[in-house]
Amino acid sequence: MAYAEWKTGRADEIAVFEAFFRKAPFNGIYTIFAGVDEIKRFLNDFRFTEQQIKYVRGILPRAEEEFFDWLRKLDCSKVKVSGI
Q: What is the pLDDT of residues 30-68, one digit of tens each?
A: 877 777 888 888 888 899 999 999 999 999 999 999 999
**13: exposed, middle or buried (Cβ count in 10 Å: 0-12, 13-18, 19+):** exposed
The reply to whether the predicted model has a pTM over 0.85 is: no
Cβ–Cβ < 8 Å for 57, 3: no
Q: What local confidence, expressed as pLDDT, does residue 84 receive?
A: 66
- Mean pLDDT, all residues of the chain: 88
